Amino acid sequence: MLSELQVKNFAIIDDLQLSFRSGLNIISGETGAGKSILLKSLGLLMGAKASPDMIRPGQKQALIEGLFDLKKRPDIIQRLEQLGIDCDEKTLVVKRVISSQSKSKTYLNSSLSTLNDLASIVSPLVEVTSNATPLIELTSQHESKSLLTRAYHQQVLDQYGMCSSLRQEYSDYYYKYQKLQEDLENFKNRASENQSKLDYLVFQQQEIKSLNLQENEEQELESAYNQIRHAKKIQENILALESLIWSDSEGALARLHTARGYLSKLCDIDANYFQNKLNSLDEVTNLLDEIAFQTQSYIQNEDFHDMNIQSIEERLSQLRKLQKKYGNRVEDILSALQNIEKEIHEIENFDVVVKEKEEEIEKLYKKLKNLATQLSKTRHNASQVMTASVNEELKDLNMKGLKFHVSIQKRAELGKNGMDDIEFMCQQGKNTQARSLAKTASGGELSRILLALKNVIGASEIARTYLFDEVDSGISGETAEKVGRKLQQISRGQQVICVTHLPQVASFADIHFFIEKDPKAKKVKMQAKELNQQERALEIARLISGEKISKTSLAHAKELLKEAQSAY
């Protein structure tokens, strides 16, 4: 949910702060007051590109900042954590800074971010659905154009039918299927080049195998090389250490032995107090003796004396040559060897490999066909329920003569989304054929079909914010009231922010904001305020009758508010 919005020095906005809440947030105002500018600022929070000409004249930078409550969106919190962005308070602050002198900057919870990261979190998707549900979805009268695309239709139906996981599984297999087909085609096309390539691959194989590399060999060689380089220093230090520990009367062990004698005599007098001290001294003596023994063993080891620095340097030199060709680690070189040997096998057994690949593709195709069939069945079942639900919504929106249909046609070949071609259709009368929305529905009808879909699909969605930009365009009267009720219904499960010019829609608001140009400002300046109940009645009366509010329009406004509130 979008909780706070602050905009500074953006177009005609000087300094604006709005506090949105859950439910239906209505924004109204005079034509040209700046409602579209406000929506543009929200668009920047969703990842829209910024440019210096958006900055208020006379200012060096503009600031757009939004606070989102993420308590009901653990998926967004998880995605932020994956991006390394702290989200302890379960809130997200998106900040866009547009500068006239440098590149614009984007921040997520104070962390400098990219537009791509921002878009992955709150980007507005001009569709009803997406695999990843955005925090904000922008819905305008222009979005009805999306209703004319089949890709949109398929996405809407899949969300309604809860096909996301099944479709994702199909997509994963389809990608593998395409990749295998591509690999097989490339393998066949390389047949003429295989012999010359085989010679080079065999050379590479022998070059690597001749060294008989072992895992961790590089570390062992470098350790041995280091020992030889410092052999003299190692011996000197070990001998000095032995002298300090083991030399006769002056050595540490000899002194500890003398100290033990004194402690032993003290134990004879008071064992309760001194015995544990004697035991500790014995432990120290044994530990020191063990240290001296182990350090002496280090230089007595045959490997220490047998190591040849020349052979190690030669081995390391050979290893470095291979690293330049095949990878920085021994493991990388051995992995490259496996790939080389796999290629050699494929070339030497060309016909067998082709057959194996074809069998693998055939097996994968059967799996794909099975998943596509499941997906298609689920879509058919969902389409029947969705069609009935949308038609009920349309009937409620005074579109009784129009029938909504979902056409599902079987494709000749499997596609990236299955075996179905999906298209939304509408039927204008009982005796007419259902035709595509693009050919039959008017702009007003498309807007109401869109609203009906939002209401039907919305019930299955997780918490989010909807922005409706005059989706009520082209309607009035009873239909406008129906639209207002639908927006209110959607807002019960979501946050809805709606820009409207219709009094019937505005009357259903939980919170109502009024946008206007500041008449006292020397320059064009937009201001906004949250209306109280009395101010709401006046604004709705203005929407009814225009600037000159009459007693009749005010009475009508109060009646609209009363009726809308009784519907809560």
pLDDT value at position 67? Answer: 92
pLDDT value at position 129? Answer: 30
Q: Does 227 score more than 50 pLDDT?
A: yes
Q: What separation, in Å, do the N-terminal and C-terminal C-alpha atoms of the chain show?
A: 21
Across the range 243-259, mean pLDDT stands at 78
pLDDT value at position 510? Answer: 92
* Least confidently predicted of 36-40, 432-436, 458-462, 556-560: 458-462
Cα separation of 363 and 366, whole Å? 5
Q: Does 266 score more than 80 pLDDT?
A: yes
Mean pLDDT (the chain, rounded): 82
Cα separation of 285 and 273, whole Å? 20
Q: What is the pLDDT of residues 112-148, one digit of tens each?
A: 988 888 877 875 322 333 334 455 555 554 444 456 7
Structure tokens at 44: 């920047």
pLDDT value at position 150? Answer: 84
433 within 8 A of 427, measured Cβ to Cβ:
yes
Q: Does 308 score more than 70 pLDDT?
A: no
Q: Does 272 score more than 60 pLDDT?
A: yes
DSSP letter, residue 141: G
Q: What is the pLDDT of residues 339-364, one digit of tens each?
A: 888 888 878 788 888 898 899 999 99
pLDDT value at position 144? Answer: 45
Q: What is the pLDDT of residues 10-31, one digit of tens each?
A: 988 888 899 999 889 999 888 7
What is the DSSP secondary-structure string of 101-136?
SS--EEEETTEEE-HHHHHHHH---SSS--SS--SE
Q: What is the pLDDT of residues 53-62, one digit of tens each?
A: 889 888 889 9
For residues 228, 230, 236, 242, the Cα torsion angle rounded to the nearest 10 degrees is -70
Across the range 151-172, mean pLDDT stands at 87
pLDDT value at position 460? Answer: 46
123 within 8 A of 137, measured Cβ to Cβ:
no
pLDDT value at position 132? Answer: 43
pLDDT value at position 310? Answer: 74
Burial class (CB in 10 A: 0-12, 13-18, 19+), 414: middle
**Strand partners of residue 55:** 10
Q: Does 484 score more than 60 pLDDT?
A: yes
* Least confidently predicted of 59-63, 221-225, 328-332: 221-225
Q: What is the pLDDT of residues 520-539, one digit of tens each?
A: 666 667 788 899 999 999 99
pLDDT value at position 307? Answer: 52
Percent of the chain residues topping a pLDDT of 90? 22
What is the DSSP secondary-structure string of 240-267?
HHHHHHHSTTTSHHHHHHHHHHHHHHHH
The residue that leads in pLDDT, 415 or 401, is: 415
pLDDT value at position 537? Answer: 94
pLDDT value at position 457? Answer: 78
pLDDT value at position 361? Answer: 94
Q: Does 461 score more than 70 pLDDT?
A: no
| pTM as predicted | 0.60
Neighbour count for residue 229 (Cβ, 10 Å) = 12
pLDDT value at position 394? Answer: 86
Of the pLDDT bands very low, low, confident and very high (cuts 50, 70, 90), residue 334 is confident
Instruction: Choose from 105-119, 310-324, 474-488 the range with maximum mean pLDDT.
Output: 105-119
pLDDT value at position 363? Answer: 95
pLDDT value at position 370? Answer: 95
